[in-house]
Amino acid sequence: MPDYRLAKDRAFTILVLALAAAGVAPLAHLLATVAVRGAEAIARAGPGFFTEAPAPPGSRELGGIAPALAGSLLLAGASVAIGVPLATLTAVFMHEFPESRLARAARALAMSLLEIPTVLVGILVYSIIVVPMGRFSLLAGGVALAIVMLPYVATYVERALGQVPRTYREAGLALGMTRAQVVFHVAMGVARRGVLAGFIVGLSKALGETAPLLFTIGGSRAVVQASPLCPGDAVPLLVFQLAQTPYENWRLLAWGASLVLVASVLLVYLAARLLVREVRL
């Protein structure tokens, strides 16, 4: 009987490992393909891959993704500047007044935003910003990405604040601090790693989004834009558009941009995971 049970245990272990390998294999194949094809594109383009605009379609040259990189940086900055303060204040309100109707409504809205297709966010921003302005802009894209990242940041920050021991709050109040000072100087300081992890997770989610950008930034890839009020480009949008073309140089450029995008998102997620593991209260 012990031998029979041991055989069953080993068979079950082998089955679980085989199923896990089958589930991971497509992702590993995808990452390997992006790495190989992307590295090939970057090596062929040389340093110009990061400093030039895409070459004309059908050309023997690849050019680069400089306008898309600059646009992604501006979008990241705009989305963080808009989304992080709003999400942080929302999280603080939900944590400090959990039973109020407004806090319950904000929590329900945040959970709903996690499930809403991001293309609808792009259409909303197109209606309220792009149409009144009369043109596409990186600012509109930043607003759309801020809405996308808001529920992630709010959720992480609220959970981080909830892990702060009550004794820290009581000590702050005993010293004569106001409730706001306790939250922003004591609780935020103690939970800073968890709060920062929320910021990074929200940013990584925004960096990989394409759908909201289809209706907001215009996809202008000829020159590097330095103003958020002008149309621009972004790496995810560049990949989406160039990968559908019949031109070999543009499709190869899309592989290189895909590698840059995947590497950026993976690095941000890795940083977030390390921060979460190192939370100290």
Residue 251 lies in a domain: yes
Residues 6+ apart with CB under 8 A from 97: 103
Residue 88 lies in a domain: yes
Point out the residues of the chain with pLDDT beneath 50.
Answer: 1, 279-281
Note the pLDDT of residue 275: 65
Could you tell me the CATH number of the domain that includes residue 92? 1.10.3720.10
- Rounded to whole angstroms, what are the CA distances from 165 to 45, 95, 144, 187? 54, 13, 35, 9
pTM (predicted TM-score):
0.85
Residue 18 lies in a domain: no
Residue 80 lies in a domain: yes
Residue 4 lies in a domain: no
Note the pLDDT of residue 113: 84
Note the pLDDT of residue 280: 47
Q: Which two tokens stand for residue 74?
A: 């501006």
Residue 29 lies in a domain: no
The total domain count for the chain is 1
Query: Residue 75, Cβ neighbours under 10 Å: how many?
Result: 33
Residue 54 backbone dihedrals phi, psi, to 5 degrees? -60, 140
Residue 116 lies in a domain: yes
Q: Which domain range does residue 244 map to? A: 66-277
Note the pLDDT of residue 65: 92
Residue 38 lies in a domain: no
